[in-house]
Amino acid sequence: MAERLVKVYSRFNRIWHWLQVVLILMLFFTGTRIMGLHTLIPFEGAVTLHTLSALVLLVLWAFATFWLFTTENWKQFIPRYKGLPQVIRFYAWGVFRGEEHPYQKAYHRRHNPLQALTYLALKIVLFPAIWMSGLAYLLYTFWSPLDDQSFWLMVVANIHILAAFSVATFVLLHVYLLTIGGFRVHVRPMISGFEEVEVSAEAEAYFAAEKPERLKAEG
> Domain residues of the chain, as ranges?
2-8+72-216
User: Bridge-partner residues for 203, per DSSP?
Assistant: none
If the chain, 219 residues long, is cut into consecutive pieces of 10 residues, what is the mean pLDDT of each piece?
Answer: 80 92 96 95 96 94 89 84 91 88 81 90 92 93 89 94 94 89 86 84 73 71
Q: What is the pLDDT of residue 217?
A: 66
pLDDT in tens, 3-24: 788 888 888 889 999 999 999 9
Which residues, 6 or more positions from 114, have their beta carbon under 8 angstroms from its beta carbon?
Answer: 84, 87, 88, 91
Amino acid, single-letter form, for residue 41: I
Q: Are 196 and 3 in contact (CB under 8 A)?
A: yes
What's the chain's Rg over C-alpha atoms?
Answer: 21
Report the alpha-carbon distance of residue 106 to residue 100 in Å, rounded.
16
Kindly give the pairing relationship between strand 2-7 and strand 215-216: antiparallel
Whole-number pLDDT of residue 206: 67
Helices 151-178 + 11-34 axis angle, to 10: 130
What pTM does this model have? Answer: 0.86
With beta carbons less than 8 A apart as the criterion, state whether 21 and 190 touch.
no
